[in-house]
Structure 1
Amino acid sequence: MADKNISKVVYGGKTLIDLTADTVTADKLLSTYTAHDKSGAIITGTCTFDADTSDATAAVAEILAGKTAYVNGNKLTGTMKNNGAATGTISTKDESYTIPIGYHDGSGKVAISATEQAKLIATNIRSGVKILGVTGTMSGTEGAKAQAKTATPKTTAQTILPDSTGGYNYLSQVTVEAIPYNESDNPQGGVTVTIG
């Protein structure tokens, strides 16, 4: 009997091997792998992909620039910018940092600028106020020099300020002298009152 491919083996009435219903073909078998087809012939795979990408949804903008991937059977080359360690600083209360579109390697940071951080110390913040984790200790009088003054009432308005010499910053108190008041008898038999 000439050599033939064997696709079914029956021994003692029992089927030991039956390839006749198999559906494997060379184009469905991964490249370089071998198997037997339904006729029993040895076949070598020719398929160069190992995944069904028909349901993939990635777009080139979602794949890192220069990298390739297969989506729905098509090879795509990414266009997503590689920002690496994106960093930024914030220097004012209302400032924000806009995260650039693209890939980030996870090591980037956004922080308050070093100049502004140096200002966030307890002695620069009023006592009892907490800003970004720093509780203030400033009473409000550090470095200030007070002056106590006495003022004499006048018939016109007056503004009382610390003296411009002496390094005074504020008035600790102002003592307003009593308005002079004097009564005296007058020749008409009445009383003359003198104020001021």
Structure 2
Amino acid sequence: MKTNNLYWDTNNGDELFRRKEGVDSKRATEEDVLINLGFRDPFSREIKVGKMPMNEALDVVLEYGELYTIPKGYHSGLGTVRTQELSLGQLTPGTAIDEDIAENKVAWVNGIRVVGKLKINKNNMEGTATENDIVVGKDAWVNGKHIYGKMPVILREDTVLYAGDFYKIPRGYHGGEAIVHAADLAIQTPATAGPQDIVAGKSAWVKGKLIVGELEPLSVTLSVATASISDIRKSKTAFIANGLVTGTMNEYLNRPQTLLTAGQTFDIPVGYHDGMWRIKADSLYNQTQASATSADIRKNKTAWVNGALVYGEMEQEISPNSPGTAEEKDLKKGKIAWSNGVKLIGTNEYDSISYAFNENNSDDPSSPIVCIMPTHRWNSINTLIIEFFDVNDPNRRVQKVVYSDVVSGSSRIKGTHSVVTTLGSPRVVVTNFDPNYYIEVSIYGYDVVDFSEENEEVR
């Protein structure tokens, strides 16, 4: 090796100040850092103060059709936007746990937010290397395949470059020992830096001369920065006390509008929002589709139809179209009902009214079974039986569930089924959650609400 070769040290810190200034889309601005937190501009080294708004954690309840726009800025993740009525658990039945969902992916199961732990990449040995990315004589596994390296190994070969010459580094793996040096230092080191442009204690060659730096060290310059990587958007970079870092703050940009139905709640996620994400509660019109008019609803009664409150105008003193099989003995004593156009006055001394219902959903196991009770004013069902049958063997009953005294307005939700009733409604809805079975529902006997007024009609 020639003795007139020149070698010098450098480090990554020096390189920070040799970069050409320019516009970097990843450079953090005041809008990318939380309000009142300081940081230093990576090129001008000017201390700046963040302007990103800090939003309070609000609990926003949306009415039907109401729209809420998440404000621009940082959110702590504690704020919520929710609607009313139905619970999320009723809308998201499922059986998955965190080990069934890919790592860091999120799903909702039975109203609970589940973050996945299944390591897909590790299980699949995912990778991007090819045989040309691995040194010849070595092998590796990538995406489940055993591949052998074809990258050439370049032996050491020192090269001397004279002014105007160039050296093309051959493709392949280099051991890091080959030397390429310039013949003329003055020609090889054209630059404009002076002592004030170089960090104190460091030196550089400028036009063939050794310059000793007088600039304040980078560690001192950055020591006053207060931001952390979580205070900076993950798509942006900034210089802080630790040097050049890339932010980790989650970003929510150009998000599509989120629609909430009755009972749903939306948690505003932690991170930066561009102020364009809109959360909208579904309109009452979409959630109350129906066909009744005021003429179909009894006078002094109200109901919601297609998003509008309808006041009943029906005046019904007789019931000519009232097919039925009830007799006076089937009605509680003193109560009135219509059957086949005949007004009946009850003579039954007991609370229970004889009634039987039976239906199955073998044609569509996922379809709920709906029983319409004979009256809106039923108080409780004496006995409700749910039988489960194997869809592959319809004659094999696998389970029988018996409920007694099912009260109007109560709901019973189990892992395999639910029984839902609404106070003042004749509907009794039984839903099966297991697609491997169909159900058969039987209802026997009921009693009605005991009104104190005499001769109150049961309708």
TM-score range, shorter chain: 0.3 to 0.5
Q: TM-score, normalised by structure 2?
A: 0.20
Q: Greater strand percent: which structure?
A: 2
Task: Kindly indicate whether structure 1 or structure 2 has the higher relative contact order, using CA contacts under 8 Å at least 6 residues apart.
Answer: 2
Larger radius of gyration: 1
